Amino acid sequence: MAVNQETPANPGAIGFIPAPPERMKAKPDETCLDFGKIFTDYMFVMDYADGAWRDARIQPYGPFMMDPASSVLHYSQSVFEGLKAYRAADGSIRLFRAKDNFERMNTSCERLCIPKINPDFALEAMKRLLRLEAEWVPSAPDTTMYIRPTIIAVDPFLGVHAAEKYIFYIILSPSGAYFPDGMSPVRIFVEDEFVRAVRGGMGFSKTGGNYAASILAGAVAKRRGFTQVLWLDGVRQRFVEEVGSMNIFFKVRGELWTPKLNGSILPGITRSSVIALAQAMGVKVVEKDIDIYELFELGARGELEEAFGSGTAAVISPVGMLRLQNRDLIINNFHTGPLAQGLYDTLTGVQYGRLTDPLGWTETL
């Protein structure tokens, strides 16, 4: 069995397959970059076969040849990560807590019965790819290079089992500012019918299946005029879990509350950064079960001062309104609160190298 071994060895030298000149793409216009639609000329790929990761290489970006019976296509045995590279004012390219992403990927691998990767090697491979594609890292304000490491199971076999063949790959997508017109609070629908994940399931893993389970509720909420869904726990549908693909925070009577990690919540790296920064700012942070009905009571009494989501894509996304059944709760008069703004400014300041980094979260490529 190829699963759950200790951190595997470094698969060795990284090969390079050059792209023919006619395959090289024109760089996009940085002023109107979208999210996740444009990809660079190259990708990093390695294969898992015969019990080891092998054949690490950088090759031209392009489609994989896959058997239609490949297990990932039927049973979703896959994991992914999402992180960014940032262009600093001095032109250098910076990474933020990147090793944490590969360590979290291994946690996801364990749950999905996928062989682990060597995090140091994966980080080095990602840096190699970024150096090759450095010209693609945008420099317009608040743009980033979004990085998507992924592992898929590719055994051509319809039996339900842990696959023996996998592909690990990293693709790069230059992406635009998340809030092109400045941070603006969003309307959130509290979902009390569908659930995203349950304890004992895969909620703590970054895996496609969790997203497949979330699409219907997200689509219904959008149709009703909401940006995202606030997920409740899968058993009592009462305790707050997370919002869309972000973790959630509430400022209550000066304290910062966030749901405690319980197995069905994704342990966000932005979440952990927000907790550390808020504590450094002298704010008391409380990780606990948060009852949505109690939260609405606090809101009605004027004790809920701010709410915001946290995640790599948006960094901080203020919540202006929550709808629970037929009740609306307006938060901070639909304005971005000072704590959300302060955390956003500090986090992006550290990421782009405008502020010092006392916690050692960043590195230059």
319: Cβ–Cβ under 8 A, 6 or more apart, which residues? Answer: 185, 186, 188, 243, 248, 307, 308, 309, 331
Q: State the DSSP code for 261.
A: P
Helix axes 98-112, 119-132, angle to 10 degrees: 130
> Least Å distance between CB 136 and ligand PLP?
21
Query: CA 331, CA 187: separation in Å to the nearest integer?
Result: 10
> Least Å distance between CB 88 and ligand PLP?
20
Task: Please report, as residue ranges, which positions from 61 to 120 form the binding site for ligand PLP (by CB under 6 A).
Answer: 82
DSSP, residue by residue, 92-138: -EEEESHHHHHHHHHHHHHHHT-----HHHHHHHHHHHHHHTGGGS-
Binding-site string for ligand PLP from residue 171 to residue 210, where x marks contact by CB under 6 A and - marks none: -----------------------------------x----
> Least Å distance between CB 198 and ligand PLP?
14
> Least Å distance between CB 207 and ligand PLP?
9
Binding-site string for ligand PLP from residue 282 to residue 311, where x marks contact by CB under 6 A and - marks none: ----------------------------xx
25: Cβ–Cβ under 8 A, 6 or more apart, which residues? Answer: 40, 41
What token pair was written down for 58?
Answer: 């950088």
With CB under 6 A as the rule, give the number of residues binding ligand PLP. 14
Binding-site string for ligand PLP from residue 241 to residue 280, where x marks contact by CB under 6 A and - marks none: -x--xxx------------------x-xxxx---------
> Least Å distance between CB 26 and ligand PLP?
30
> Least Å distance between CB 345 and ligand PLP?
17
* Most distant CA pair in the chain, distance: 65
Nearer Cβ to ligand PLP (82/201): 82
What is the length of the chain? 365
Nearer Cβ to ligand PLP (210/332): 210
Per DSSP bridges, beta strands 15-16 and 93-96 are unpaired
Query: CA 328, CA 14: separation in Å to the nearest integer?
Result: 54
Does 319 help bind ligand PLP (rule: CB under 6 A)?
no
Q: Which of 40, 77, 144, 312 binds ligand PLP (CB under 6 A)?
A: 312
Query: CA 246, CA 196: separation in Å to the nearest integer?
Result: 13
Nearer Cβ to ligand PLP (58/217): 217
Summarize as ranges the residues that interact with ligand PLP (CB under 6 A).
82, 206, 242, 245-247, 266, 268-271, 310-312
